[in-house]
Amino acid sequence: MSELKTRESLRRFLYCSSLLEEKIAKAYEHISKLIKDKFIGCCLSLIAHDSFKHADCLRVMSEWLTSGMQINFNECVKVWGESWKTIIMDAERILSKSEMSFEELANLINGLMKIESFAGEECLTVLHIRLIELMADEIKIKYEHFKTVLEWIIEDKKRHEQILELIKSLLKEKLN
């Protein structure tokens, strides 16, 4: 694989990941504004702010590799597969809601936890580190800077799971 091709592949990978993070961040932010409990809303807002930060970091990393490349929705599906598309569509459904009850949020929390821990966040981020490390070696990119930022993102994702567990517990108390 040529250096340019590998840089482009890595850029697509990071850019599509930034789009995923941004869509998830918007969904968290939207829910935080819909939910009536201010503390639960604040907890959701914490996750949203982190996810916006992650989206920005991933986007900047992708732009650092090559500039001016256009990437569309279908290319991101090719890069990440159907799970990427499913998460984006789920986030869009959340964004279309004009209200959300505690019951709806309680039902949604388990899905959000799955996204945080598997396809949307944790697994992808761990995979990022491994794939970027391999690709960086191939195209001779100093990888340590990327690795550090990605490790910070992983730490945030673990905290997001804890926040969602807290929200789940708070909702259980409210609904009983």
Higher pLDDT, 114 or 25: 25
State the pLDDT at residue 118: 53
Which H or E run includes 150? helix 144-175
CB 117 within 8 A of CB 161: yes
Q: What is the dihedral of CA 48, 54, 60, 66, to 10 degrees?
A: -120
Write down the pTM of the prediction.
Answer: 0.85
Q: CA-CA distance, 124 to 37, in Å (whole number)?
A: 31
Residue 143: φ, ψ to 5°: -85, -25
Q: What percent of the chain has pLDDT over 70?
A: 80
Ramachandran area for residue 68 (φ above 0: left; ψ -120 to 50: alpha; else beta): left
State the pLDDT at residue 119: 44
Structural domain spans, the chain: 3-175
Q: Does the pLDDT at position 27 exceed 90? A: yes
Which H or E run includes 52? helix 38-65
Q: At the top level of CATH, which class does the domain 3-175 belong to?
A: mainly alpha
Instruction: Please enumerate in sequence order all residues whose Cβ is within 8 A of that of 56, keeping only pairs 6 or more positions apart, or say none.
Output: 18
Q: CA-CA distance, 39 to 47, in Å (whole number)?
A: 13
